[in-house]
A and B are shown apart, each in its own frame.
Chain A
Amino acid sequence: MEKQTLIEKLKGQIITQLNLEGMKPEDIDAEASLFGDGLGLDSIDALELIVLLEKEYGIKIEDPKEGKKIFHSVNTLADYILANQ
């Protein structure tokens, strides 16, 4: 799958999975931080993203320390999925 297509798909999945009410994919900056100042996701959201990765893309994160890098932004998440599918 082309990266830009994946990014748009991920934005939609994140909005649905995390119940981001009223948000549209175009509201999410692919480069912006998912946690902290960016989208402001919390620890439960982080766990939901891990489940999303496994359920939708068949990818399990083996090393939890990688999580911070992988889930930094929609862009880094897309890179990880493309590299591990």
Chain B
Amino acid sequence: MNPIFCTSQVLIRNGQVWKNGHLVLNKPELANADFLRACYDLAATPYPKFFKMDNLCKLAWVGAELLQQDTDFMHGYAPEEKGIILQNSASSLDTDIKHAESIASADAYFPSPAVFVYTLPNITAGEICIRQQIKGSSAFFIFDAFDADFLLEQTKIYMDAGRMKACIIGIAEWIGNQYETCLLLVEKESDSATKKELTPHFIQTVYTPS
């Protein structure tokens, strides 16, 4: 398979945001909801829909927003040339639980459509697609553990098949009070020495499961 290249990466966990290896936000003292708001403010993109998203979606959305800033991803590719491949192990369980709680009592049976709509992890990918104008391949895989080899292979298969030229890949996880996302912006072509070839070893230097 042909090599592919990483243009930028974002890691968000433990109250910190790292972009391309630089710490750009350090707020471990914030409650999770406040930290997500701080990430949104850091992204500095007015997007009212953000406040209707569930935690998993907010986390991945803001990660993707920061990831593509200062790159050509948003406007340098046709929407059909862009894709997204994510994975996690908890799926949308955090929101699934909230939904289950809202319908647990027959006497107070009031499911919330706004909660229910996020009871599928691929909605997270969908929200990113809407914002980043991605109309190519979109997938969200569920694995017991982070699988960098699978992620890399899937991305290469799609790119070698001409299905996309640029892609957001990575992991986005939110369950209870635990969260993390590591996203990489990957391109088929490299016209810059600053873009690193995407290999399993490179992914490991960017992200190690906590």
Contact = CB atoms under 8 A, between A and B. Distances in A.
Interface of A: 18-21, 44-45, 47-48, 51, 54-55
Contacts of A21: 48, 50-51
B112 interface: yes
B114 A18 contact: yes
A47 B114 CA distance: 8
14 contacts: A18-B114, A19-B51, A19-B114, A20-B48, A21-B48, A21-B50, A21-B51, A44-B114, A47-B113, A48-B113, A48-B114, A51-B111, A54-B110, A55-B110
Looking at chain B's contact residues, is the secondary structure mostly helix, strand, loop, or mixed? helix
Interface residues of B, number: 10
A55 to B, nearest CB: 5
Interface of B: 48, 50-52, 110-114, 117
B52 A19 contact: yes
A20 B50 CA distance: 10
A58 B50 CA distance: 30
A51 B51 contact: no
Nearest to B118: A44
Nearest to A52: B110
Nearest to B49: A42
